[in-house]
Amino acid sequence: MLKIFFIFSLLPPSEIKAYDVPNDAGGRILVEWNLSPDDSLIDFYILFRQFQKEGTWALPETVSILKKGENSFIDQGLKNGISYRYFIRAVKGGEFIDSDYSNIAIPSAQWFHKKRLSALILLIIIVSLLLFYIEKAKKGEHLYIRKIAGLDAIDEAVGRSTELGKPLLFSLGLGTIAEIPTIAGLSILKRVAKKAAEYETDLIVPCFDPVVFVAAQETVKEGYLEAGRPDLYKEGNVFFLSYEQFGYAAGVDGIMLREKPGAVFLQGYFYAESLILAETGNSIGAIQISGTTAVTQLPFFVAATDYTLIGEEMYAASAYLEKEPLSLATIKGEDWVKILLIIVILAGVTLETLSFFVKNPFLHFLKEFFTIL
Amino acid sequence: MKKEIPLIITFISGLLLVVALFIPHEPFGSLQERFNDWYIIVSGFTLILGVDSLLLYHYRKIKRKEKDAPYSAILIFSFVTVLIWGIYSGIKHGNPFAPTSTFLRYFYTYIFVPLGATMFALLSFFIASAAYRAFRARTFNATLLLISAGLVMLGRVPKGEETIPYFIGITLILIALIFALEGIQRVNPYEKALFFVLSILSLGVIFPSSILLKKYLPFIADWVMNIPQLGAKRGIFIGISLGAIAMSIRIILGIERTYLK
């Protein structure tokens, strides 16, 4: 039904269509329309919604006031399984003109996110490869892992610090315990704590996050216990410092300048404070081993510290340090996934380059398949 | 059971979150939000542990009369002042950060914000000192880094294209001077001639290179950022993502248990 409350020279928006938003938990409808041919003349649009109850349509409700030029809107907070329809009003001054009603749309929840099919396939392949190598490791097969200079340098750094009679300082960055780099940092901390206990050197761990602080305390305690020197563990050396970024940076800098640690470990997730910490560590002449997955901070660590664990090297730390076959197996599986990804990337690049010369939409299939929303 | 129960909880929660990524339907769709809410609640309680640790650490320092005890006393005094001030402002204004609150004005705006800004401002000096060390052209790779970083910086700053001819001119004059001085010191006539030719060549390329760089500098800067830089960055990203997946699987399967006592 065409609803025209006031006929004047302006034309209404047309082709108004409503769809259930795909791949969501329901409750959302996407409304699209063609702009009024006189879009430039109107002041704004008003989107109206009607829902069906017991076979009859309720009175129209205003959904949103939209600027001219806008031709789509996602209506949220709707009830799944209820029928909705829309119309749009173009307003100029005190006059308006309404579009036709849209088709009827019913919001619903989906049981599978179709756009993530490629991610699921990749996940299945990755998990299968990892499990395959875990099985191999269980059977006792030897798994080789390349040398990681930054991790090999841990013993050297602890040893040097011991010789100098200075403590060690370990920062886990600003990450929370829910972040994987922090867990990777904790596994390195355990190794450092074990070595510190063996060499009878003090280990200072100032923490940013209170949950990480509790985990760090347990990790250091465990390290000392594994080394058979629980008596050397000092509870006060692992402490919460601040929950404020630059407050933490200032605090750690202060500790570095006062305690003059012989070795500084910066392992975890860092933000803008990374260089402040690394440069202060450098200024006191400490041997520094850094590691982070924050790509924007990596150049700072490479420039200012002696050894840097770049991204994935950090994740490999626990497997590398413990030489535990099951952990090593996951690294081996990861390498095979990398080879697989290189093949996919090369195939994608070839197809996309070809598509420049041959205008065939099929050539984009790899790019489209791996585009995850 | 002390280890088994946390491992079971980790396994179930990890698996549920993976499932939730692919199933938007309730009850899975909102699982991540719910887990995050629980994390906030738990971390709220651990903040008490953190504060307890901080105060105890500094209290012990004061008690033992260690050399830095005065700093610890200042910290405890500041902590108590801020706490009392915050509670007082909260009661008086309904919120310690209300626009009329003295806590907001004197503590937050006049002390806390400038201190944070000062620390952040110090970063520029640290960047300069780290950049000096990183860009020293000791090896071929470091020289490449220095040249590309110089071109990117000049290509991205206002008036960079206008500055480049002077920059190139001065650099090449210095290079020509070094070659000439090296030539003077050489005894072998062939070597002497070679260094003088190199010196003249350096002077000769000033004009064409300045013209070319002035024209193509933004393009070169964009190319460095979008092709080699982004390529390397993506490589690191892929490695990080795969590493994270492998680590997550280790955590879910209970192979990685450093976070447990």
B135 vs A218 pLDDT, higher one? A218
End-to-end CA distance of chain A: 37
Measured between CB atoms, does B124 come within 8 Å of chain A? Answer: no
pLDDT of B251 > 50? The answer is yes
Residue with tokens 């830095």: B68
Inspect the interface and report whether the beta carbons of B23 and A126 lie closer than 8 Å. Answer: no
Q: Within 10 Å of residue A217's Cβ, how many Cβ atoms?
A: 21
Inspect the interface and report whether the beta carbons of B53 and A333 lie closer than 8 Å. Answer: no
Inspect the interface and report whether the beta carbons of B26 and A222 lie closer than 8 Å. Answer: no
Rounded mean pLDDT of B191-218? 91
Q: Please name the member of B22, B123, B130 whose beta carbon is closest to the beta carbon of A272.
A: B123
DSSP string, A49-92: EEEEETTEEPPPEEEEEEETT--EEEE-SPPTT--EEEEEEEEE
Residue with tokens 């630059």: A246
Write down the pLDDT at residue A8: 52
Inspect the interface and report whether the beta carbons of B243 and A311 lie closer than 8 Å. Answer: yes
pLDDT digits (tens, 9 = 90+) for A28-63: 999 999 988 888 888 999 999 999 988 889 999 999
Beta bridge partners of A47: A64, A88
What amino acid occupies position B98? A
Within chain B, what is the greatest distance between any pair of CA atoms? 89
Confidence tier at A2 by pLDDT (50, 70, 90):
very low
Contacts of B37 in chain A (CB under 8 A): none
Write down the pLDDT at residue A318: 79
The contacts of residue B79 (CB under 8 Å, 6+ apart) are B54, B55
Q: Please name the member of A240, A249, A337 whose beta carbon is closest to the beta carbon of B119.
A: A249
Chain B interface disruption, residue of A186, A222, A330, A372, most B CBs within 10 A: A330
DSSP string, chain B: -TTHHHHHHHHHHHHHHHHHHH--STTTTTHHHHHHHHHHHHHHHHHHHHHHHHHHHHHHHHHTT-TTHHHHHHHHHHHHHHHHHHHHHHHHHSSTTSTT-HIIIIIIIIIIHHHHHHHHHHHHHHHHHHHHHHH---SHHHHHHHHHHHHHHHHHSTTHHHHHHHHHHHHHHHHHHHHHHHHHH--SHHHHHHHHHHHHHHHHTHHHHHHHHHHHHHHHHHHHIIIIIHHHHHHHHHHHHHHHHHHHHHHHTTS--TT--
The interface pTM score, or ipTM, of the predicted complex is 0.81
pLDDT of A373 > 70? The answer is no
Inspect the interface and report whether the beta carbons of B259 and A303 lie closer than 8 Å. Answer: no
pLDDT of A3 > 70? The answer is no
| Degrees, nearest 5: CA angle A354-A360-A362 | 95
Confidence tier at B136 by pLDDT (50, 70, 90):
confident
Residue A240: helix, strand or coil by DSSP?
Answer: strand
Confidence tier at A1 by pLDDT (50, 70, 90):
very low
> For all residues of chain A together, what is the average pLDDT?
89
Q: Cα distance from A196 to chain B (closest Cα, Å)?
A: 17
Write down the pLDDT at residue A161: 94
- Structure tokens given for A346: 């090369």
Write down the pLDDT at residue A220: 94
Burial B28-39 (b: 16+ CB within 10 A, else e): bbebeeeeeeee
Measured between CB atoms, does B177 come within 8 Å of chain A? Answer: no
With a CB-CB cutoff of 8 Å, which residues 129-168 of chain B face chain A? 129-131, 133-134
Q: Cα distance from A293 to chain B (closest Cα, Å)?
A: 7
DSSP string, A257-295: HHH--SEEEEEEE--TTHHHHHHHHHHTT-EEEEEES-T
Range scoring the smallest mean pLDDT among A45-59, A60-74, B89-103, B128-142: B128-142
pLDDT digits (tens, 9 = 90+) for A292-305: 999 989 988 988 99
Q: Are B127 and A275 in contact (CB under 8 A)?
A: yes
Contacts of A276 in chain B (CB under 8 A): 119, 122-123, 126
Q: Please name the member of A186, A298, A315 whose beta carbon is closest to the beta carbon of B246.
A: A315
Please give the model's pTM, rounded to 2 decimal places: 0.82
* Strand pairing category for A29-34 and A14-20: antiparallel
Q: Please name the member of B25, B245, B260 whose beta carbon is closest to the beta carbon of A111.
A: B25
With a CB-CB cutoff of 8 Å, which residues 36-55 of chain B face chain A? 39, 42-43, 46-51, 53-54
A252 vs B95 pLDDT, higher one? A252
Contacts of B115 in chain A (CB under 8 A): 246-247, 250
Write down the pLDDT at residue B142: 81
In this prediction, what percent of chain B has a pLDDT beyond 70?
98
A308 membership: H or E segment, kind and range? strand A307-310
pLDDT digits (tens, 9 = 90+) for B230-250: 999 999 999 999 999 888 888
Contacts of B29 in chain A (CB under 8 A): 24-25, 109
A16 membership: H or E segment, kind and range? strand A14-20
Backbone dihedral angles phi then psi of residue B225, each to the nearest 5 degrees = -70, -40
Write down the pLDDT at residue B182: 92
pLDDT digits (tens, 9 = 90+) for A207-219: 999 889 989 999 9
Q: Are A208 and A248 in contact (CB under 8 A)?
A: yes
pLDDT digits (tens, 9 = 90+) for B30-86: 888 888 898 888 888 888 888 888 899 899 989 988 888 898 999 999 999 988 988
Chain B interface disruption, residue of A315, A337, A373, most B CBs within 10 A: A315
Q: Please name the member of A219, A295, A302 whose beta carbon is closest to the beta carbon of B233.
A: A295
Measured between CB atoms, does B187 come within 8 Å of chain A? Answer: no
Q: Cα distance from A121 to chain B (closest Cα, Å)?
A: 11
pLDDT digits (tens, 9 = 90+) for A127-185: 899 889 888 888 888 888 888 888 889 999 999 999 999 999 999 999 998 889 999 99
The Cβ-side half-sphere exposure at A265, using a 13 Å CA radius, reads 34
Rounded mean pLDDT of B108-134? 87
pLDDT of B194 > 60? The answer is yes
Contacts of A178 in chain B (CB under 8 A): 39
A194 membership: H or E segment, kind and range? helix A180-199
Inspect the interface and report whether the beta carbons of B127 and A275 lie closer than 8 Å. Answer: yes
Inspect the interface and report whether the beta carbons of B47 and A341 lie closer than 8 Å. Answer: no
Cβ-Cβ contacts under 8 Å between A and B: the total is: 189
Contacts of A183 in chain B (CB under 8 A): 247, 251, 256, 258-259
pLDDT digits (tens, 9 = 90+) for A78-126: 999 999 999 999 888 888 888 999 999 999 999 999 888 988 998 899 8
Write down the pLDDT at residue A238: 93
Inspect the interface and report whether the beta carbons of B51 and A240 lie closer than 8 Å. Answer: yes
Inspect the interface and report whether the beta carbons of A111 and B51 lie closer than 8 Å. Answer: no
Confidence tier at B175 by pLDDT (50, 70, 90):
very high
* Strand pairing category for A61-67 and A56-57: unpaired
pLDDT of A264 > 50? The answer is yes
Q: Within 10 Å of residue A315's Cβ, how many Cβ atoms?
A: 31
- Structure tokens given for A176: 């929370």
pLDDT digits (tens, 9 = 90+) for A179-203: 899 999 998 999 999 999 999 999 9
Inspect the interface and report whether the beta carbons of A218 and B261 lie closer than 8 Å. Answer: yes
Q: State the Cα–Cα distance between residues A111 and A119, nearest whole angstrom.
A: 16
Residue with tokens 């000049």: B154
Which sign does the torsion angle of CA B237, B250, B39, A214 carry? negative
Length of chain A, please? 373
Beta bridge partners of A89: A46, A98
Residue A26: helix, strand or coil by DSSP?
Answer: coil
Q: State the Cα–Cα distance between residues B170 and A180, nearest whole angstrom.
A: 49
Write down the pLDDT at residue B94: 84
Confidence tier at B261 by pLDDT (50, 70, 90):
low
Which sign does the torsion angle of CA B204, B209, B214, B215 carry? positive
Q: Please name the member of B46, B239, B246 whose beta carbon is closest to the beta carbon of A211.
A: B46
Q: Is B131 left (phi over 0), alpha (psi -120 to 50) or beta?
A: alpha
Residue A315: helix, strand or coil by DSSP?
Answer: helix
Residue with tokens 């003090």: A202
Chain B interface disruption, residue of A133, A135, A143, A183, most B CBs within 10 A: A183
